[in-house]
Structure 1
């Protein structure tokens, strides 16, 4: 789907398809050392139950408990992407607004459902930070990511709460929030914000993109509307097993440690990228997600050269609000980052 030159259905996995097995993947925002053995074992153990239809009650209950919510406020989905489709189809909205640059699937889903979508474009000169006053007062659905893909901006929870008002649905995509140490600025679990809908994904931190598991947190009336739009048995038995496992105390502790490790690796990556400032490389800062957004001259040519050198990175020009000067880089371990920075040096020289 293209709107005004932006391919809303282009995602990072497109950078590593076909010959991608030979590439070091900095294009997809899934943690590289996942899923861990204990999670694979839990998923494998569920395969003996495949003859029965999936029963999501237990997984729904533990997800609710993880956020201190009643089960009526939780809906399990086949990844956060399904949740965007359900919201677009089930909610009766007239003036939806998507805050960009951000993950493009919410707008694509809204357009597929027949909605006319307005955009609020955040500006580089403002650090891609949200000014709540920029969102039109008449908007009855607002979608924003936190931390935002691809800018890696973590918006203050207080700023997001300012967007809420009676008669408006406020959708906050927290797919990457568990990669933020302490999940600071999270709204998941809040019940005092009118119209709040929070989306969470378990695919990024746990390496489960091929399994598809996520969930929605919202008021019971909204959950009921979304559930009506779902097909029967939307989440598979292995995905339900993964959902239960990933919100257990041991898993939450492991995710917390991973978030601190990602922050350290990201700082290493950003410091390395700053060394190329004299050659036109600029990092959007401060970065708070498991990825960074970088602007550089002739980014398309550099991306192709990096591919020849064995590294896949995400083009930025498919995100509304960005153009061909931008690339998104997933955070990886220090050894991988150092090898990438060496390749980037060569790619900039070859440019």
Structure 2
């Protein structure tokens, strides 16, 4: 399926909302966790700088990721963020009928297009809560990409629903970039070896605030990992990023991420409750939200976004995601004080300023 009308800008991402005047805006457009990276992680990364004269050696970080998920190292590939993994998949795998399940992160489709593929779209519907129906995916699709929890809808699909997409001769790519923000990482497929063609992507940039460092990884069969590795340049992950990867999968970091996931869930509930209070003004929230962001439908969303910027807040426009229109915005979850101030600004932004008084007759 294809969206109708103007094609979305697949290369528009949340950072564009704050790139030019971000210092003047409270950022609810980018999904990186606030107040990160923590001090201990900065110190781990800084400690790696004395090794910069040597070429990066990813063996220890790769082994640490493998141990974290209970997998052999041959099933792990470290990448310069999850975005690199999408490029590798698009270039290295021999596929004929790739399909991307939308709305979701747009980089997988952009990478496939750049590699010369014609990409099919399965558009999940708002009236269905953007839930996945495996039967909607064409049977002849030999590469299927889906996010879980999905950016921007914040829908967490049941793992077994996603597994129903797997079949012989198909590569099933599940983007779990935000799964560590889900308490208990329920519905994760990371570590599963019984699903044919499964590729799970993980990012360490969201929870740990490492978007500028670029670190993520792929979990897949040894054969797929080897194919992707052949498409990588030499030394694709820097020494500081390798140090970060090793630190972020250690028991201390996993415990901290678990606590953060529970805190995010509470802050998200507070944000959703505040947004729902504007239902009388036409505001609708996609629920249940399970990621560190929520998708919101707002009448005159473009005007509301402009007025929010004037009030000092940036949110993510939704019309660059296939399957969404100009009435959608994505809002990142922040602490309650920030959310309360944002909700106050939103209350003002939802009501357009009155025009000039009509001339007297």
Shorter-chain TM range is over 0.9
Counterparts of 1:46-125 in structure 2, within 5 Å, are 46-125=48-127
CA distance in 2, matches of 1:44, 1:26: 28
Q: CA deviation at 1:349?
A: 1.6
CA distance in 1, matches of 2:185, 2:107: 23
Q: CA RMSD in A?
A: 0.9
Counterparts of 1:272-351 in structure 2, within 5 Å, are 272-350=274-352
1:219 maps to 2:189: no
TM-score (normalised: structure 1): 0.99
Unaligned ranges ≥5, structure 1: none
Q: Match for 2:202 among 200, 203, 207?
A: 200
Q: Match for 1:9 among 8, 11, 20?
A: 11
CA distance in 2, matches of 1:116, 1:19: 36
Q: SS where residue 121 of structure 2 aligns?
A: strand
1:45 maps to 2:47: yes
Greater CA radius of gyration, 1 or 2?
A: 2
Q: CA deviation at 1:5?
A: 2.1
CA distance in 2, matches of 1:331, 1:5: 28
4+ runs of 1 displaced by more than 6 Å? Answer: none
Q: CA deviation at 1:201?
A: 0.1
Identify the residue that residue 178 of structure 1 maps to in structure 2: 180
1:134 maps to 2:136: yes
Q: CA deviation at 1:18?
A: 1.4
1:235 maps to 2:237: yes
Q: SS where residue 271 of structure 1 aligns?
A: helix
1:269-305 deviations in Å (ceiling 9; x for gaps): 0000011000000000000000000001000000010
Q: CA deviation at 1:4?
A: 4.2
Q: Match for 2:168 among 166, 169, 175?
A: 166
CA distance in 2, matches of 1:149, 1:164: 21
Q: CA deviation at 1:210?
A: 0.1
1:106-147 deviations in Å (ceiling 9; x for gaps): 000000000000000000000000000000000000000000
Identify the residue that residue 267 of structure 1 maps to in structure 2: 269
Identify the residue that residue 253 of structure 2 maps to in structure 1: 251
CA distance in 1, matches of 2:6, 2:241: 36
Q: SS where residue 351 of structure 2 aligns?
A: helix
CA distance in 2, matches of 1:348, 1:29: 23
CA distance in 2, matches of 1:179, 1:124: 23
TM-score (normalised: structure 2): 0.96
CA distance in 2, matches of 1:9, 1:152: 20
Q: SS where residue 350 of structure 1 aligns?
A: coil
Q: SS where residue 216 of structure 1 aligns?
A: strand
Unaligned ranges ≥5, structure 2: 354-361
Q: CA deviation at 1:350?
A: 2.5
Q: SS where residue 174 of structure 2 aligns?
A: strand
